[in-house]
Chains A and B, each alone.
Chain A
Amino acid sequence: MTARTHPLEAIAAWVLALLWLAPLAYAFWSSLHPAAYATSFSLSAPWTFENYVRAWNQAPFGRYYINTVVLVALILVGQLVLSTLAAYAFTRFRFKGSGIAFALVLLQLMIMPDVLIVENYRIIGKLGLLDTIPAIALPYLASAFAIFLLRQTFKSIPQELVEAARVEGAGPLQVLWRVYVPLARPTYVAFGLVSVSYHWNNFLWPLIVTNSVESRPLTVGLAVFGAPETGVDWSVITAATVMTMAPLLIAFLLFQRQFVQSFMRAGIR
């Protein structure tokens, strides 16, 4: 349908869009100008990169970046491997108790590790892993969501292809690797983007289990850096904030379509 859009409506749409971008635009503005211009918008305000330099020098952001990248990669690889194997078990094999097992997996969709912070902290403590990167990752490695998504995808794969591979003498794992995994690629990409975004941004659990520069991800590092007690300049904090969100934001701007589609696909199920 090509109904004409009323000009007023178009204006409203644009006003809302600009309003939606304003907080972000403001963060960039204040991070790129001297502290004196944090609240006075003047076109003659001098541009500076000083805030970023100071943020970078006042806190170990380099280390935080590495920690976050390691954390996100660890979680993603773990989730993909574990959920592929589990989803394959649910799709390919009929076995006693598979219904109950699947229901127990789905339980994690209702009660996510995010709300079991008290007991999970105790378990991580017993394992002697407090204040390490694996401690942040462990509760998320087995993802019911990934298992569910992959099982749906695997179920839609034509049996003829599986049969063909079997006739050629492929064992169960070869069938998985040569038939299922390649055909499920869109699901892997969708889940991957959602997972990376989620764990790059995750905060409460990492805050609870980490306590040192060596294990803290960016989000926690930012919160520690920006705490009012530290008395750091507002502009420097904004610079640190921009640094924290920049990688994901850039990835989003570059692959906008994939991001939106992935969130859509993963959300709707």
Chain B
Amino acid sequence: MTDRIASQFVRQLRPQAWWNAVNAWLLLLPAAVLLVAFTHYPILATLRQSLYFTKRNGTETFVGLDNYRAMAADPIFWKALVNNFWFALGTIPTSIALALLMALWVNRNMRGRGFLRLAYFTPTVLPMIAVANIWLFFYTPDYGLLDQLRGLLGLAGWNWLGEPSTVMGCLIVMVIWKEAGFFMIFYLAALQQLSPDLDEAAAVEGAGRWYTFRRITFPLLMPTTLFVAINAVINSFKLVDHLVIMTKGGPNNASTLLLYYIYEVAFTFQDAVYAATLTVVLLVLLSTLALLKFGYLDRRIHYQ
């Protein structure tokens, strides 16, 4: 029925195909202009910029891959990239595991589950910059909360964010706290889709709780896990707000991340060409991840 009406509708309109197109493009126009101006053009301009050198007087010369060679020789670039890797590895598996645990608890008929969900989810709605302010105080040397606790144990103060050995760990703990509750809701949604018959069947068969989780629930949640994981990786490249007020990438670039380094190069060192070259790396990383997400994963992990 619907099909017939639809095809009739299309047949009616066919002579007016051009009119259709005009209408459609008029509707698209405002969004298209802004998308081109702030997404497509900037992407192309960034690519172009990375192949040119700009002199002080503003003249540009084509330099091929010279900017990339300079980048490959820049230890801070590599440091940022490696940091991004550790930052992702430190935050993502732990927050996903916690998120799953939270979701399993909140999904149960436990007393106070509304409160539990609220507690877990709240950090998600806070601005990163406010979170950074609060945690900055925990990590403040001597005066901060963490060092006060150390003081109770008779230990000397420690400059948590000022030492290369601890700064990354501190930031990772904070980000886990911020993100776990966000990932929890994806598991919650997935758990609510699972048939309760499965659990009952498992119980009837005498399967233990841990066994049921390991052999039934967890495999069924695999699509969610991969979805959350890849989104988390993408997100980890964009998460740099806290660096601005907590460490400025320091000490000695121990906590810098690629996007923060781009920000620093562009707006502190005023080197737009090098910032563009670095941006290209970030764009390549993000597009690869996105293609993985849209192409491969979407097709492979849906069991139904």
Chain A interfacial positions (CB closer than 8 Å to B): 1-3, 5, 9-10, 13-14, 16-18, 20-21, 23-24, 26-27, 30, 38-39, 81-83, 85-86, 88-90, 92-96, 98, 101, 104-123, 138-139, 141-142, 144, 147, 158-160, 163, 172, 197, 200-201, 203-204, 207-208, 218-219, 222-223, 226-227, 234, 237-238, 241, 244-245, 248-249, 252-253, 256, 259-260, 263-264, 267-268
Q: B267–A208 contact, CB under 8 A?
A: yes
Of the A-B pairs whose beta carbons lie under 8 Å apart in the complex, a sample of 20, sorted by A's number, is A5-B105, A13-B116, A18-B119, A23-B134, A86-B27, A90-B28, A93-B20, A93-B24, A94-B20, A98-B24, A105-B31, A115-B286, A118-B275, A139-B38, A142-B30, A159-B9, A245-B125, A253-B118, A260-B121, A264-B188
Residues in chain B near residue A139, CB distance under 8 A: 34, 38-39
Residues in chain B near residue A96, CB distance under 8 A: 21
Q: B38–A241 contact, CB under 8 A?
A: no
Q: Which 4 A-B pairs have the closest CB atoms?
A: A110-B290, A119-B42, A201-B127, A17-B119
Residues in chain B near residue A141, CB distance under 8 A: 34
What 0/1 pattern do residues 22 to 45 of B give for CB contact below 8 A with A? 011101101111110111111101
Residues in chain A near residue B39, CB distance under 8 A: 107-108, 111, 113, 116, 139, 142
The answer to the question of B115 belonging to the interface, with a C-beta cut-off of 8 Å to chain A, is yes
Chain B residues 137 to 154 lying within 8 A of chain A, measured CB to CB, are 137-138, 143-145, 148
Residues in chain A near residue B23, CB distance under 8 A: 89, 93, 172
Residues in chain A near residue B215, CB distance under 8 A: none
Q: B40–A104 contact, CB under 8 A?
A: yes
Tell me what chain A mostly uses at the interface: helix, strand, loop, or mixed: helix
Instruction: Find A39's partner among B30, B40, B143, B181 (CB 8 Å cutoff).
Output: B143
Instruction: Find A94's partner among B10, B148, B245 (CB 8 Å cutoff).
Output: B10
Residues in chain A near residue B108, CB distance under 8 A: 3, 5
Given the interface pairs A3-B209, A234-B137, the reply to whether A227 lies near B245 with Cβ below 8 Å is yes
Residues in chain B near residue A172, CB distance under 8 A: 23
- Among B64-72, B73-81, B83-91, B195-203, the stretch that binds chain A is B195-203
Q: A203–B129 contact, CB under 8 A?
A: yes
A204 to B105, CA, bound (A): 35
Q: A116–B42 contact, CB under 8 A?
A: yes
Q: A23–B138 contact, CB under 8 A?
A: yes
The answer to the question of B170 belonging to the interface, with a C-beta cut-off of 8 Å to chain A, is no
Q: A23–B135 contact, CB under 8 A?
A: yes
Closest approach, in angstroms, between the C-beta of A81 and any C-beta of chain B?
A: 8
The answer to the question of B279 belonging to the interface, with a C-beta cut-off of 8 Å to chain A, is yes
The answer to the question of B283 belonging to the interface, with a C-beta cut-off of 8 Å to chain A, is yes
Residues in chain B near residue A123, CB distance under 8 A: 37-38, 41-42
Total contacts A to B, CB within 8 angstroms?
A: 274
The answer to the question of B177 belonging to the interface, with a C-beta cut-off of 8 Å to chain A, is yes
Instruction: Find B272's partner among A13, A16, A93, A118 (CB 8 Å cutoff).
Output: A118
A85 to B27, CA, bound (A): 5
Given the interface pairs A115-B279, A245-B127, A260-B117, the reply to whether A10 lies near B245 with Cβ below 8 Å is no
Q: B238–A112 contact, CB under 8 A?
A: yes
Residues in chain B near residue A253, CB distance under 8 A: 118
The answer to the question of B159 belonging to the interface, with a C-beta cut-off of 8 Å to chain A, is no
The answer to the question of B155 belonging to the interface, with a C-beta cut-off of 8 Å to chain A, is no
| Given A26-B134, A203-B129, 13 further pairs, Cβ under 8 A | A5-B110, A17-B115, A23-B134, A83-B31, A93-B21, A118-B266, A138-B37, A197-B125, A203-B244, A223-B245, A241-B134, A245-B125, A268-B186
Instruction: Find B38's partner among A113, A197, A248 (CB 8 Å cutoff).
Output: A113
Instruction: Name the residue of chain B whose CB is nearest to the CB of A86.
Output: B31
Q: B279–A147 contact, CB under 8 A?
A: no
What 0/1 pattern do residues 121 to 136 of B give for CB contact below 8 A with A? 1111111111101110
Residues in chain B near residue A98, CB distance under 8 A: 24
Chain B residues 156 to 209 lying within 8 A of chain A, measured CB to CB, are 177, 181-182, 185-186, 188-189, 196, 199-200, 203, 209
What 0/1 pattern do residues 228 to 245 of B give for CB contact below 8 A with A? 000100000110110011
Q: A160–B5 contact, CB under 8 A?
A: yes
Instruction: Name the residue of chain B whose CB is nearest to the CB of A115.
Output: B282
Given the interface pairs A111-B39, A237-B133, the reply to whether A17 lies near B125 with Cβ below 8 Å is no
Given the interface pairs A39-B143, A201-B127, A252-B125, the reply to whether A85 lies near B31 with Cβ below 8 Å is yes
Residues in chain A near residue B28, CB distance under 8 A: 85-86, 89-90, 101
Residues in chain A near residue B45, CB distance under 8 A: 119, 122
Residues in chain B near residue A207, CB distance under 8 A: 244
Q: B5–A109 contact, CB under 8 A?
A: no
Q: B279–A118 contact, CB under 8 A?
A: yes
Q: A115–B21 contact, CB under 8 A?
A: no
Q: A111–B286 contact, CB under 8 A?
A: yes
Residues in chain B near residue A208, CB distance under 8 A: 263, 267
Chain B residues 277 to 293 lying within 8 A of chain A, measured CB to CB, are 279, 282-283, 286-287, 289-291
